[in-house]
Chains A and B, each alone.
Chain A
Amino acid sequence: MTKRINCIIISSKLNKKNSYQEWWRVRPYETRQPVNNKVPIPASKSIDERGTAASFIERFFLCKILRGDLMIRIQNIYKEFSNGKEKLTAVKNINLNIKQGEIFGIIGLSGAGKSTLIRCINRLEEPTRGQIFIDEVDITNLDKETLRITRKDIGMIFQHFNLLSQKTVYDNIAFSLHLSKMDKNKIKQRVDQLLKYVGLEDKKYSYPATLSGGQKQRVAIARAIANNPKVLLSDEGTSALDPQTTKSILSLLNKIRKELGITIVMITHQMEVVKEICDKAAIMENGEIVETNTVENLFREPKTKTAHKFINSMHTSVEEEIINPDDFKGKIVRLSFLGKTTRKAIVSQVIKVFNIDINILSGNINKLQSRSVGHLILELTGDELEVEKALNYFKNQDVTVEVI
């Protein structure tokens, strides 16, 4: 099987490295309809000519390989709201690829369109244009009934929990199972299992009104994953919680991703959330994504102003804006380290090697999902040439240097 797939890849002259993009270019637009809502047929002749069941399976795996197990693909999504005469574009030309098992953060200020975007993913909001594929099913192309059934694969949690206030914790979690008309005994088993998973066994017969915010969100999470969804959408899921509770909810989400392999898309306006658990993040502003990167790179080298602002919003001690380079004699630089370099004594080495003085103005280290990112703002005084050499030294040590 593997051999044959390899052979197909070669025969269709697809470069494995960026095969995923290539693959789409090969096929004409009209054929981009999913076959049996599962796998689109590639246009490459060698595959099409066979047209047997066996080749269908091959195609399925071929797609998986070519795409690197993408769970969500958002392509050119637009969402326009028209309010009589006025037309408002809430979401503009969004393109995102989210891998299976990834925690993907979408961060932006309120009104940036992030909530509209996440609601387009399960079509609570109908996108005006564009396509969204979830596990290679074009969500935007489904009829109402198929969409309804597909939604069972997409769990969602909300800022205000949206629990059924008149039902017990048990019934709230059982809700989606009841909707699927699952057998009563099975429901009981599953709910007990979920209660244990989120750590609320003792609250089984409590009503939501008696729970704390964190407990409510745990119930909501249990309910959202009850149907074993492929994707979990979190629409500001931690925004109504205090920092301590936020952390515990985030670690629960991380556990879900690790143990159940559920892909998680998180909308948030808190950089702390992105820092804590996201692998990749997109920054949204005015309906557009201005920057997408892994969280490490985002913290190390934010490219846009908005990204800078979000990262700075976390540094409660010293805001960068407060530091005015004109107030200092020396050169003000901002160093960003990643991973191992955070543990090296680079600054003291520089002082020893070069004939300059270093004054530390501010610094911090942020622990990210996998690694840590450190920032230092330094004032370098001394001979200009020496300062220049020192900066080069920093750069050679895999430290990002930015002169303010």
Chain B
Amino acid sequence: MADLVIPSLLETLYMVAFSTIFSLLLGFPLGILLVVTEKENIWEKPKFNQILNSIINVLRSFPFLILMIVIFPLSTLLVGKSIGTTATIVPLSVAAAPFVARVIEGSLKEVDKGVIELSLSMGATTPQIISKVLIPEAMPSIILGVTLTIINIIGYSAMAGAIGGGGLGDLAIRYGHYRRETDVMIASVVIIVIMVQSIQYLGNTLSAKINKK
């Protein structure tokens, strides 16, 4: 069984790791934009904010399976195929990016308005406020948000397995469900549960450790 589970685990780790990176790259700036372009914030652009908000809402409300199918052409364009572990990274990243944007938005909004006011009173530029105040002050909360994102992507990646994404989800469905090999099913589920638990634990610990508040 190990020869079945280990490659699938590696596939899952590969998918989750890269999807996390890409979704953060996409979602982090969006999250920042959501906050700073808000009314009465440091880079007020209400129209832009409204449009960005709607786009993110639409993307967020897309059921993941459907999004994946819709995105097949994009996956083909980017990685040359629409099925397989690497190809799945594309819909996973796209699906998780708006989630990341919301998570980051939430974290940044927790930052005390007074601190931003202070930065303004000291003559900080908008980029300086973002990089020296907003992000560092929100860091403990951002780490928890990223943890949440990774766990979400693990869940999505299991689903992606159902349409040829590979990984533990794929294993659980093909062997565990279709071939009724319950032990494989149990093994995959247990591994996923352990993964989620340990990531949550790591995230909580790290966040608490860096939080000086």
Binding site for B on A (CB under 8 A): 122, 124, 148-152, 154-156, 158, 160, 162-167, 175-176, 178-180, 207-209, 223, 227, 233
- Look across to chain B and name the residue whose beta carbon is closest to the beta carbon of A167: B136
Q: Report the count of interface residues on B (CB-CB < 8 A).
A: 23
A176 and B139 within 8 A (CB): no
A166 and B117 within 8 A (CB): no
A–B pairs, 20, beta carbons within 8 Å: A148-B125, A150-B123, A151-B121, A152-B123, A156-B118, A156-B121, A158-B114, A162-B115, A162-B117, A164-B115, A164-B136, A164-B137, A165-B112, A165-B212, A166-B136, A166-B212, A166-B213, A175-B132, A179-B128, A233-B121
Q: Looking at chain B's contact residues, is the secondary structure mostly helix, strand, loop, or mixed?
A: helix
* With A178-B132, A209-B212, A209-B213: A149-B123 Cβ-Cβ less than 8 Å: yes
- Look across to chain A and name the residue whose beta carbon is closest to the beta carbon of B212: A207
A15 CB to nearest B CB, Å:
39
* Residues of A contacting B119 in the complex (Cβ-Cβ under 8 angstroms): 175, 179
A175 and B137 within 8 A (CB): no
A152 and B122 within 8 A (CB): yes
- Look across to chain B and name the residue whose beta carbon is closest to the beta carbon of A153: B123
B139 CB to nearest A CB, Å:
6
Binding site for A on B (CB under 8 A): 112, 114-115, 117-125, 128, 132-133, 136-137, 139-140, 210-213
B123 CB contact (under 8 Å) in A151, A158, A208, A209: A151
A190 CB to nearest B CB, Å:
14
With A158-B114, A164-B115 already in contact, 19 other A-B pairs whose C-beta atoms are closer than 8 Å: A122-B121, A124-B117, A148-B124, A149-B123, A150-B123, A151-B123, A154-B121, A158-B117, A164-B133, A164-B136, A164-B137, A165-B212, A166-B139, A166-B211, A175-B122, A208-B212, A209-B212, A223-B122, A227-B122
A179 and B122 within 8 A (CB): yes
Q: In the bound complex, how far is the Cα of B213 from the Cα of A310, in angstroms?
A: 37
A121 CB to nearest B CB, Å:
10
A127 CB to nearest B CB, Å:
16
